[in-house]
Amino acid sequence: MSECRYFHVETGKGLRRLGSLEEAVACSQRGGYVWLDLLDPTRRDLDALARPLGIHPLAVEDCLDEDQVPKIEDYPGHILILFNRYAYAGKELTVGEVDFLLGRNFLVTVNRDGGDARKAFEKIEEMASLDIGTVEKGPDFLLHVILDHTVDSKLAAIEALEDDIEVAEEGMLEDAVTFRLGDLVHLRRALLSLRKSLFHEREILVKICRKDSPFITEPAIYHFRDIYDHLTKFFEFTEMNRDILTSLTEMYLSLVNNRMADVANRTNRSVRRLTLITTVFMPLTLLAGIGGMSEWSMMTGPHNWRVAYPLFMLGIAVIGAVNYVLLRWVERKRGDRPADRS
């Protein structure tokens, strides 16, 4: 549901709330400036104030369009600044939008996208009242106050995202088997969204500090430089943590690869043991087959069975021992230590 608030700001008189758009337009002609604060406005709401304030139709379109990158646009009589607002909860990054229309004697703020926008909308009047000395200097100073609060509020989302990155790192190091690579991909996607937004917002502040806009006075530019410093710090955070996520991904793949190699080595050792057993028992099976078919008795004579069969068993034991010793010698010669087969 849309909601609109109107304020008149004059030097020495502070922030005075007005009852209607018509009253706000009239006050803007008498001195000071007006501030129009809108929450989830409809096209009708924006069209109603566009004509009396001289707002360009394309600026109205930008205020209604979604999924735009932050930008600054110059129009005759005003500028449009589009900024993002972040909220991070439940491992989900929500990117909202706040638009600013700044003219000589007015500032229009458009808050959109759900509950977080309403929280900001409810606090923004109190925030402006606390810094009334700065707000009275002009609409560009009020713009700085609101932008400064909007940028500083990003810190909570950034810190929450950083905490989740640390948790993911600890979980991966504790148990790489149960760790899900999708968690890192999800964090990286949120971080890239954050980085894209901060990159464009920093460019906006570069243009403002370069004195490209006639609606932002030189005394106010010094205040905007502080916002630029904050955005630069946040942008460096995204770069640093993007490198961390890249390293974590490589580390995870390395751990998984090492584990797969260990499993392969264990399989090879098991196959080698089975091969050893098979090789040892092949000649024994041959001898047992011969003895089982009575050829041994035919060779030694049935009456000598008390001597013949013990000799047969001894021969089997000797052949098995010789084969075992021979295969162990071959393994040691290849460099396979007994510890590797444990």
**Mean pLDDT over each residue of the chain, to the nearest integer:** 81
pLDDT of residue 292: 57
> What's the domain range around 200?
3-256
Please provide residue 79's backbone torsions phi and psi, each rounded to the nearest 5 degrees. -125, 155
Q: 303 lies in a domain?
A: yes
Report pLDDT digits (tens) over 110-126. 987 654 666 666 677 77
Reported as a pLDDT band with limits 50, 70 and 90, residue 204 is: very high
**Tens digit of pLDDT for each residue in 234-284?**
998 888 888 888 888 888 888 878 778 878 888 887 787 777 777 767 776
- Do 113 and 245 lie in a common domain? yes
**Most confidently modeled of 78-82, 292-296, 303-307, 324-328?**
78-82
Residue 308 belongs to some domain of the structure: yes
| Confidence band, pLDDT 50/70/90 cuts, at residue 188 | confident
Closest Cα to residue 14, out of 133, 105, 140?
Answer: 133
Q: Could you tell me if 104 and 214 are in contact, meaning their C-beta atoms sit under 8 angstroms apart?
A: no
Same domain, residue pair 106 and 220: yes
Residue 54 domain flag: yes
262, part of any domain? no
Do residue 235 and residue 92 come from a single domain? Answer: yes
Total domain count, the chain: 2
Are residues 291 and 250 part of one domain?
no
Query: Are 319 and 192 in the same domain?
Result: no
Q: Are residues 244 and 123 in the same domain?
A: yes
Whether 336 is covered by a domain: the verdict is yes
pLDDT at 114: 52
Buried b (16+ CB within 10 A) or exposed e, 253-285: eebeeeeeeeeeeeeeeeeeeeebeeebeeeee
Which value, to the nearest 10 degrees, does the dihedral of the CA atoms of residues 165, 167, 168, 171 take? 160
- Sheet of strand 71-75, all strands in order from the earlier edge strand to the far edge: 14-18, 3-10, 33-39, 106-112, 92-103, 78-89, 71-75
Q: Can you give the pLDDT at residue 81? A: 93
Rounded distance between C-alpha atoms, residue 264 and residue 140, angstroms: 67
pLDDT given at position 48: 87
What pLDDT is recorded for position 39? 85
More confident residue, 52 or 278: 52
Q: Is residue 51 one of the residues assigned to a domain?
A: yes
CA atoms within 13 A on the CB side of 103: 23
pLDDT at 2: 76
Residues 189 and 53 in one domain: yes
Same domain? For 161 and 25 the reply is yes
End of a domain among 226, 256, 286? 256
| 332 belongs to a structural domain | yes
Average pLDDT over residues 90-103: 86
- pLDDT for 134 equals 85
**Window from 74-78, 247-251, 303-307 with minimum mean pLDDT:** 303-307
The beta strand positions in 233-310, using DSSP E, are: none
Local structure of 17: helix, strand or coil: strand
Q: Please report whether residue 261 resides in a domain.
A: no
Report, as an integer, the average pLDDT of 131-142: 87
Residue pair 98/86 in contact (Cβ under 8 Å)? The answer is: no
Q: Residues 74, 150: one domain?
A: yes
How much of the chain, in percent, has pLDDT values that exceed 90? 12
Using DSSP's 3-state secondary structure scheme, residue 75 falls into strand
Q: Inform me whether the pLDDT recorded for 80 exceeds 90.
A: yes
Higher pLDDT, 287 or 148: 148
Residues 52 and 188 in one domain: yes
Q: Are residues 287 and 247 in the same domain?
A: no
CATH of the domain at 116: 3.30.460.20
Taking residues 332-338, report their average pLDDT.
Answer: 59
pLDDT band at 79 (very low <50, low <70, confident <90, very high): very high
275 and 210 co-located in one domain: no
Domain edge (last residue) among 223, 256, 289? 256
Of the three residues 235, 256, 277, the one that is the final residue of a domain is 256
